[in-house]
Amino acid sequence: MKKVILLIVISLSVVSVMAQNRTDSVLIVKKAFTQNGVRLTPRQLLQITHYNAEANSYMQKAQSNNVAASIFGFAGGFLIGWPIGTAIVGGEANWAMAGIGAGLVLIGIPFSVGYKRNATKAVEIYNRDLAAPPETTGAVEWKLGFTRSGVGIAMKF
């Protein structure tokens, strides 16, 4: 009897995990990636796509682009902001530094576009594979009936 109960509990947990994974698609809402209403960071997207090799490959490229865009963007923003802050407080602003900062921001833009393109492709592949029927039949079939030793439950995958 304990084995039967254990089998039922394990089977129901497997079925619930399969059902949960099939409905967890990632949405693109207002240029942000969300899953079940929660906004996802690039690192979370990388974790979500971990078990899908093709989607994970695109997400790794997207993550690399995001890091490069962040580095150029933050450095450029600092180099632009420092002279502006100096000018606001009445000091001698170094506008060449601001020009270099603007150049760094411009260099970061293609990396940002690359992140968005690769992340969107990764999400499309991830969602496509969620919608596709599983490799196996995916349906669990339960049968209750009489056996040689009494009443039995059979589960067919």
- pLDDT of 25 > 50? The answer is yes
Where does residue 15 fall: left (phi above 0), alpha (psi -120 to 50 degrees), or beta otherwise? Answer: alpha
Q: Say what percent of the chain tops pLDDT 70.
A: 79
- Mean pLDDT, rounded, of the chain: 82
**pLDDT given at position 152:** 74
Domain count, the chain: 1
**pLDDT given at position 18:** 46
User: What is the C-alpha to C-alpha distance for residues 128 and 123, in angstroms, rounded to an integer?
Assistant: 8
- pLDDT of 1 > 90? The answer is no
- pLDDT of 19 > 50? The answer is no
DSSP the chain: -HHHHHHHHHHHHHHHHHHHHHH---EEETTEEEETTEE--HHHHHHHGGG-HHHHHHHHHHHHHHHHHHHHHHHHHHHHHHHHHHHHTTS---HHHHHHHHHHHHHHHHHHHHHHHHHHHHHHHHHHHHHSPPSS----EEEEEEETTEEEEEEE-
Rounded to an integer, the average pLDDT of 16-28 is: 60
Domain hosting 41: range is 2-156
- pLDDT per position as a tens digit, 97-130: 999 999 999 999 999 999 999 999 999 999 888 8
Q: Say what percent of the chain tops pLDDT 90.
A: 45
- pLDDT of 157 > 90? The answer is no
Entry pTM: 0.65
**pLDDT given at position 142:** 75
